Every structure is written in structure tokens, then in C-alpha cells.
Amino acid sequence: MQHKYIGLGALVVALLLWGLGPVTGIDRYIETIRHPSSRPADPWKQLAAWKTAVQGEGLTEEEWKARIEKEAPAQRIAPINAKVDRIWKAIPGYNGREVDKERTLALTRDLPKGSPLPFVYREIKPEVGLEDLGPQPIYKGNPNKPMISLMINVAWGDEYLVKMLDTLKKENVHATFFFDGTWLSKNLETARRIGEQGHELSNHAYTHKNMSQLSRAKAVEEITRTEKLLEQLGVHNTLFAPPSGDFDAETVKVAHEMKLRTVLWTLDTVDWKKPEPSAVVKRITSQLEPGSLILMHPTHASSEALSSIIQAAKSRGLVLGTVSELLSPDRIPELEPKEAPKK
């Protein structure tokens, strides 16, 4: 009881000093002290009364609507169309955003008057998407999307796969593995386990031949044979990485007719030359930027460099996703407030 009267005294003194007139929340609080019969039995209700007295009443729904209408335009970000760049060829589009006024309003229901608006957003699709550009090779994602992707081409051996998978799991990162069909035919269960860990599985042709030197029929065969193996794993694939990065316009056209996007890389570890891991880290991190597609193989150099590359990307605010996630126009999920429960 002593604490309650001290609290009452502090309120009275504050009213005298500030010269305030009647304040609804404070009057209500004082009334509970003067008349014990009206005093809430739950002390938490008394605390709520004090909170209302200090913070003031909330706005009406119409007042919140007016605030949202006023502030929403500044939150809008225009979408970016996909385009064909002179150097980088096909560049994916990137969704814009705008305030979802109804969902934002639902979150204001119990907020005190001076609270910042808890904006909830919806995405705006660009008018031109990657699918509208026709058969074009892809070397990078949209530079406005703060994401990069790891392309791990697997054509021989699995000596360093376990270490790379352990690193990816530890860092909570999903990569895209492009499998050579000859390797895949002998390692279906290994590939299945890689997919079960959340990684994307994709097509790296069947016998690692230079695609530009093949007839159209042979190019179709190279892609199709590996595609059938991926289907055995339950994979719905949409990508194709030509062996050694070798291709021509016909290669891209063939892949496009099979509903596959031809994907190359932005940054190359050149790990097949057996560099020191530190050299791989320096080579990649010195050029790392949003939209980068990073090529590597299951080698000693890349398996040792992988953790440092991932940590460098994260330290720069970059999210690591699969190739399909990078090429998607979807925005990086932003920290949105939790929606009010539906009534």
C-alpha cells in the first residue's frame, strides 16, 4: 500500500508542476486509489492504467488511416525490369514494393498515439521479366538484389564434397550443385542426400564436352540424359550450366527450348589450377558484389576457402541463396512486423 500512495503523490506533484488540466487516463488511475471498491484486483491492470496515463490514448481508426495515406508514398520502391546488357547479357528484373495499407492498419489497433507506423509491404512485379528476354545466357543476378549464389560444378570425385557440405550446413547456406551426368549416374544417392540438405540440383550436361562443338542433336542428347537422371531424384530443373563455360547461340537456344536457362558465372575461383585457399578467398572477396554468381568445384582450395567467402559475404550484408533464388525477381524478405491476429 505504501508504494501505491508514493505513486499517487508523484502523480499529483507532476500535475502541479506541469500545470496540466484533467487527463482522462490519470483521473481514472487516481479514482481507483480513492475508491478501493473500484480498484482492480489485478496489479497488472493498475500498471496498464498508468501506461495509458503516461502514453495517452491511441488514435482512432480514421486517424491511423490518414497517417498511413500520408506516409505510404515515401515507402514505395519502383520495380526494375529485366534487360539484356551489352556485356552481361540477360539481367533479371527485381520486384518493387508498396505499403499494404489494410494489413498495416490492422497492426495499429492497440498502438499508443506517438508510435511509428508498423509498415507491411507487398511486392510489385516488373513489366519485363527474365522469361520475356528470350534465349539469352545469364552471368549475374540483379545488382539491386543484395544476394549472391554459389555454383558448385561436380564432374569428378567427391573427396572434398563432405567438407563443403559441412561448411554450408554450419553457415546455414544453400548452394546450387550442377552435376555432370556421367558422375551423377554413379552417385545418385550422394546427389539425393545433397538435395535433402536443401541444396538445388541442376544440369551440367552428360560427358563434359564443349557444347559449341556439338551438333544440335548431340547437344540435345547431352542435356536430356542428365535431365532424366535429375527427374529420377524428383528434381524439377530449370537451369543448365555448360561444361567449361563453353557454348554458342545454338546451345542457349536448345536449352531454352527445353525450358532451361543457360547460366554462367560472375566470379571464378579457378580452383582447378590448385591455388592456395587464401588466394581463392582474396580473388573472390575483392570483387564480390550483389548479384554475383560464384563458380567453384569440390576441390581442396575451394573447400578450405568456402567458409571465409561466406563470412565475407555476410559481413557485407549479402544473403546467400541458390541460383534460382538469385535469378528470381522476389525481394529479399524484410523484417516485417507480425500481423495482428484475424478475428
Q: How many Cβ atoms from other residues are within 10 Å of residue 73's Cβ?
A: 9
Low-confidence ranges of the chain (pLDDT < 50): 1-26, 28-30, 32-41, 43-56, 335-343
Tell me the percentage of the chain whose pLDDT exceeds 90.
78
pLDDT value, residue 22: 42
C-beta pairs of 337-342 under 8 Å, 24+ apart in sequence: 337/107, 337/118, 337/119, 337/120, 338/107, 339/103, 339/106, 339/107, 339/120, 340/106, 340/107, 340/109
The superfamily (CATH) of domain 135-327 is Glycoside hydrolase/deacetylase (3.20.20.370)
Contact 68, 121 (CB under 8 A): no
pLDDT value, residue 57: 61
pLDDT value, residue 92: 99
Annotated domain spans of the chain: 2-55, 61-129, 135-327
CA–CA separation, 139 and 293 (whole Å)? 7
Strands (E), the chain: 83-85, 89-91, 96-99, 121-124, 147-154, 176-179, 200-203, 239-240, 261-262, 267-268, 293-296, 319-321
Prediction pTM value: 0.81
